[in-house]
């Protein structure tokens, strides 16, 4: 099963086990620990915790969930951040490993983690996230379990500048909606339109509202994102990817290192050899060339077995955009190959989609960790790849 990123209160998660950041001594403190005890029933849970006794750092113990929706609570003891040279990271890795071991031993099929050590223990959130992704991915590479990483508030994941550097600048430089809003009024885009023709297009009369407010209904159409995410905009005339519009001129590029990246092109022979292949045939062709098994592709795309099986056997003819992009990331395709793969499903990268821009940013930087991409998408309110997709 894939990793899922959700925004929720972990005490309300309907899973087999939730993970609680526990004190080493019996009893409970503030924050998440306090919330878990109060929601489960503090008196009953404290009795179990006292029986467990003192817990060393990096270890975990399991109790009943009592009044929680979860069947079990796995209590794990972390450590404060010092300087990164005092074994802190290995202790947090052991927290994840020991929690997973207990979950397996109790035949749990689903587990929910907070981002361990990112709160009162003071770990830099970027390091805490890297540790979480590393241990969860290592576990899922060898085991089947539904794993949730639960985010309670928006502050937890303000990671763009820390992890992704210039991703926000990249989006701002290339997002068509914002560019159009900034540089052109509706009248500029349609200088010869009559009042009646503008009203037919859905615009309000010129005398009311701003130019962009009048044009928003006609020049762009809103498309609601998956899972209730914020709407995005597409050009009403075309949602096709326009490379001339999207790629900045080298002298004007706001991100110099992007302009310096070498363009990787497929040879003519490669293109001609794949000309008759369907979407999934091309997926397997890339997988064979990279010596990847079906299971490796499925896991690296963060897809569950059923979704991947439906694509493989043809019961799902064409994938969603999120699934197609997930497979491109799993196969470590360059931008040219990604466009080719998407086209087999009648899809294209669009400069009107922040999801597409974020994925393209990672591909251009040859950063193919799908969970890191999903965290960037999550932070920007965009549909995630793989795990959240239902075909």
Active site (catalytic) residues: 33
Buried b (16+ CB within 10 A) or exposed e, 145-175: bbbbbbbbeeebbebbeebbebbbebbebbb
Task: Give the span between the Cα atoms of 219 and 209, in whole angstroms.
Answer: 16
User: Which residue shows structure tokens 């609601």?
Assistant: 224
* CA–CA separation, 360 and 131 (whole Å): 25
Structure tokens that stand for 230 in this block: 């914020």
Mapped onto helix, strand or coil, the DSSP state of residue 99 is helix
288-304 exposure pattern, b = at least 16 Cβ within 10 A, e = fewer: eeeebeeeebbbbbbbb
Q: Are 310 and 316 in contact (CB under 8 A)?
A: yes
Could you tell me the strand order of the sheet in which 146-151 lies? 3-7, 146-151, 110-113, 17-21, 72-76, 60-64
Distance CA 341, CA 348 (A): 9
Instruction: Find tokens 């393209």 and name the residue.
Output: 360
| Helix %, strand %, coil % of the chain (to 5) | 50, 10, 40
Which tokens belong to 347? 């899809």
Contact criterion met (CB below 8 Å) for 186 and 203: yes
Is residue 100 within 8 A of residue 139, CB to CB? The reply is yes
């Amino acid at each position: 099963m894939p990793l899922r990123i959700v925004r929720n209160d972990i005490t309300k998660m309907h899973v087999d086990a939730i993970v609680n950041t526990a004190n080493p001594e019996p009893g409970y403190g503030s924050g998440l620990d306090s919330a878990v005890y109060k929601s489960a029933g503090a008196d009953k849970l404290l009795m179990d915790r006292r029986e467990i006794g003192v817990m060393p750092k990096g270890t975990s113990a399991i109790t009943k969930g009592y009044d929680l929706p979860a069947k079990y609570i796995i209590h794990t003891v972390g450590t404060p951040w010092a300087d990164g040279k005092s074994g802190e990271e290995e202790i947090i890795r052991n927290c994840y490993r020991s929690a997973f071991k207990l979950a397996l031993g109790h035949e749990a099929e689903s587990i929910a983690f907070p981002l361990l050590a990112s709160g009162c223990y003071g770990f830099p959130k970027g390091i805490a996230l890297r540790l979480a992704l590393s241990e969860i991915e290592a576990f899922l590479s060898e085991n089947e379990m539904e794993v949730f990483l639960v985010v309670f508030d928006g502050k937890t994941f303000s990671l763009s500048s820390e992890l992704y550097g210039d991703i926000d600048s990249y989006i701002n430089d290339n997002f068509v909606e914002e560019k159009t809003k900034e540089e052109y009024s509706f009248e500029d885009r349609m200088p010869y339109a009559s009042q009646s023709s503008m009203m037919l297009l859905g615009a309000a009369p010129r005398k009311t509202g701003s130019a962009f407010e009048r044009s928003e209904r006609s020049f762009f159409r809103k498309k609601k994102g998956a899972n209730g995410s914020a709407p995005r905009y597409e050009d009403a005339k075309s949602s096709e990817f326009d490379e001339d519009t999207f790629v900045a001129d080298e002298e004007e590029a706001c991100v110099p290192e992007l302009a310096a990246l070498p363009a990787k092109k497929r040879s003519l022979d490669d293109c001609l050899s794949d000309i008759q292949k369907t979407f999934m045939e091309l997926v397997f062709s890339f997988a064979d060339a990279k010596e990847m098994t079906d299971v490796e592709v499925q896991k690296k795309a963060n897809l569950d077995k059923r979704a991947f099986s439906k694509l493989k056997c043809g019961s799902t003819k064409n994938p969603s955009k999120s699934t197609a992009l997930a497979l491109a990331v799993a196969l470590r395709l360059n931008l040219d190959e990604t466009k080719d793969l998407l086209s087999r499903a009648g899809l294209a990268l669009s400069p009107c989609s922040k999801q597409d821009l974020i994925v393209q940013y990672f591909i251009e930087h040859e950063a193919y960790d799908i969970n890191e991409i999903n965290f960037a998408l999550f932070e920007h309110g965009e549909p995630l790849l793989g795990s959240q997709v239902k075909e």
